[in-house]
């Protein structure tokens, strides 16, 4: 039986009912939007590519060609459709170093079969069938015995004893060689292998080392490498083109036996399309003052998301802020239940900007700036005009993701064109976003840092290891070599030991 609906008899009651109905509709739309977002996160595609059939004739610039794909893949014609031509250039084959040792295993036929069964004559060897297989042995560990002969004049005690000095090392009186330390650091900070797992691996080889001892070695190495870390920070800030982001990590509170949330910042910089230097910094909280310490008075181009610390610096005119357009695009992508036509238009215009940037970065600095000034700025102006108008027209649900996207965009209007004035500035903050990923993978394995000193040491080692990966250097080779060199190297030329410079000058010859 349906419940009876009592209608109000006076005008005020009708008005109240209309307002209540509007409020319920608004709340229902907001909840439906949230449900759809959660369903997409769990079951849907994460890609933000949704805009199709672009009218690329609107992007007028000689020589652009195919803007969506500046290097179109070769296609072959098949009866029903165009199919991408298979590109078998050997990349899927195993490539082996010529320096790998070879162990020969001969599998011969029995001696009685080496005689012809019909004539009784012995068979003659005419060749070999050779099959190559990549094999593995357990990790090779050994004891390095350093022998230093001692010399003295016989029966002359006053002459003293002469003995060669030990090679200089990073850690004094450490029982682990630099090669072993480099292996531990590479496994932890490049391969995300926690110390407790490394301890188990070593124990299977008959080597017993406690996690506390390995943790102490990691912290001591990290703090000893701080001069190189500071040199890399100086190089990044001197570039005038910085990318920054932060991510939470857990830190152990020994007194309580629990963890609390700390933060690791990452800063990248350089005047290249994809700067190679990555510097990490650890703090126990997310206070705005941390950003000022990290930047050390820096006042040039800074790329970031809309975290309040960066926005405050921009509003105070302390930096030239280039907010990330990827975050802007994501806001509109998630606004599925607002104004579909307007959302599609905004995403299409933002996609134009990214397509134009792909072309601009393939040109000279002067041409890049011309493309931005002549073509990209009018697109941004059009976005600003229409989004501001749409935000104030009064037909938006106050809690909707569509209104949130419009408000997010409008809050960044004073800074949206900053990248167009600097040849090496970027439309996005993807350099820093990518540098955060190793931390996200790592914390799922090592779970937390043990102390503030441990966090700072980890940040230093992460900086060197991830920069090695960015420049294509072997982190284990690099760490082993610089740990042997650092103490005797000229302190005025520390830049020579940074991963990119080391790769050119000091990398051990194969």
pLDDT per residue over 406-437, tens digit each?
Answer: 999 999 999 999 999 999 999 999 999 999 99
Assigned domain for 398 exists: yes
**Backbone dihedral region for residue 90 (phi beyond 0: left; psi -120 to 50: alpha; all else: beta):** left
In a domain, 347, yes or no: yes
- Which is it for strands 241-253 and 301-304: parallel, antiparallel or unpaired? parallel
pLDDT at 68: 46
- What is the pLDDT at residue 236? 94
Say if 136 falls within a structural domain.
no
> In whole numbers, what is the pLDDT of the chain averaged over residues?
83
Which residues, other chains included, contact 354 with Cβ-Cβ below 8 Å and sequence gap of 6+? 325, 427, 428
Residue 150: inside a domain, yes or no? no
Q: Helix, strand or coil for residue 438?
A: helix
CA–CA separation, 218 vs 457, rounded Å?
7
Candidate from 75-79, 173-177, 249-253, 312-316 with smallest mean pLDDT: 75-79
- 236 belongs to a structural domain: no
In a domain, 506, yes or no: no
Q: How confident is the model at residue 17 (pLDDT cuts 50, 70, 90)?
A: confident
Structural domain count of the chain = 1
Least confident window among 158-172, 442-456, 467-481:
158-172
Model pLDDT for residues 296-349, shown as the tens digit of each residue = 889 999 999 989 899 999 999 999 999 999 999 999 998 877 788 899 999 999
Range of the domain at 337: 325-428
Q: How far is CA 334 from the centre of its chain?
A: 24
pLDDT of res. 48 = 65
Residue 482 has pLDDT above 90, yes or no: yes
Q: How many residues belong to the chain? A: 510
* Residue 400 clears pLDDT 50, i.e. is over it: yes
Note whether residue 371 is domain-resident: yes
pLDDT for 65-78, tens place per residue? 545 444 444 555 55
Within a domain: residue 223? no
Say which residue the tokens 């932060």 belong to.
246
């Amino acid at each position: 039986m349906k419940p009876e609906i009592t209608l109000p008899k006076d005008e005020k009651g009708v008005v109240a009912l209309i307002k209540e109905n509007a409020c319920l509709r608004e709340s229902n739309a907001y909840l439906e939007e949230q449900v759809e977002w959660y369903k997409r996160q769990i079951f849907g595609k994460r890609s933000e590519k949704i805009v199709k059939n672009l009218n690329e004739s609107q992007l007028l610039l000689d020589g652009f060609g195919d803007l969506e794909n500046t290097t179109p893949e070769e296609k072959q014609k098949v009866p029903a459709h165009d199919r991408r031509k298979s590109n078998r250039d050997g990349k899927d084959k195993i490539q082996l170093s010529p320096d790998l040792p070879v162990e020969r295993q001969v599998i011969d036929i029995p001696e009685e079969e080496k005689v012809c069964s019909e004539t009784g004559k012995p068979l003659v060897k005419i060749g070999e069938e050779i099959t190559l297989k990549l094999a593995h042995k357990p990790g090779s560990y050994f004891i390095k015995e350093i022998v230093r002969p001692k010399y003295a004049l016989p029966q002359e005690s006053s002459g003293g004893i002469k003995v060669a000095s030990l090679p200089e090392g990073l850690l004094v009186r450490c029982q682990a060689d630099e090669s072993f330390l480099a292996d531990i650091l590479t496994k932890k900070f490049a391969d995300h292998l926690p110390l407790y797992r490394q301890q188990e691996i070593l124990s299977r080889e008959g080597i017993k080392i406690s996690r506390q001892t390995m943790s102490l070695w990691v912290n001591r190495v990290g703090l000893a490498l701080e001069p190189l870390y500071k040199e890399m920070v100086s190089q990044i800030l001197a570039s005038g083109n910085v990318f920054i982001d932060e991510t939470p990590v857990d830190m152990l509170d020994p007194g309580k036996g629990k963890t609390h949330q700390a933060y690791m910042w990452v800063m990248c910089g350089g005047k290249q399309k994809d700067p190679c230097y990555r510097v990490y910094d650890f703090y126990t909280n997310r206070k705005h003052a941390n950003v000022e310490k990290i930047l050390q008075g820096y006042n040039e181009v800074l790329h970031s998301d809309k975290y309040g610390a960066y926005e405050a610096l921009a509003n105070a005119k302390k930096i030239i802020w280039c907010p990330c357009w990827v975050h802007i695009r994501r806001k509109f992508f998630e606004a599925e239940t607002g104004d579909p036509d307007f959302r599609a238009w905004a995403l299409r215009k933002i996609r134009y900007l990214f397509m134009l940037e792909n072309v601009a970065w393939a040109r000279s600095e002067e041409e890049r700036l011309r493309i931005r000034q002549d073509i990209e700025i009018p697109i941004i102006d059009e976005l600003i005009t229409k989004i501001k108008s749409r935000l104030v027209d009064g037909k938006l649900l106050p809690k909707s993701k569509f209104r949130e996207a419009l408000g997010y965009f409008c809050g960044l209007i004073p800074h949206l064109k900053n990248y167009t004035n600097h040849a090496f500035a970027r439309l996005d903050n993807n350099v820093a976003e990518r540098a955060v990923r190793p931390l996200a993978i790592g914390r799922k394995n090592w779970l937390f840092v043990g102390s503030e000193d441990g966090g700072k040491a980890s940040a230093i080692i992460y900086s060197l290891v991830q920069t090695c990966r960015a420049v294509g250097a072997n982190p284990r080779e690099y760490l082993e070599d610089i740990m042997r060199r650092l103490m005797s190297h000229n302190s005025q030329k520390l830049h020579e030991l940074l991963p990119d410079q080391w790769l050119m000058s000091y990398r051990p010859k194969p």
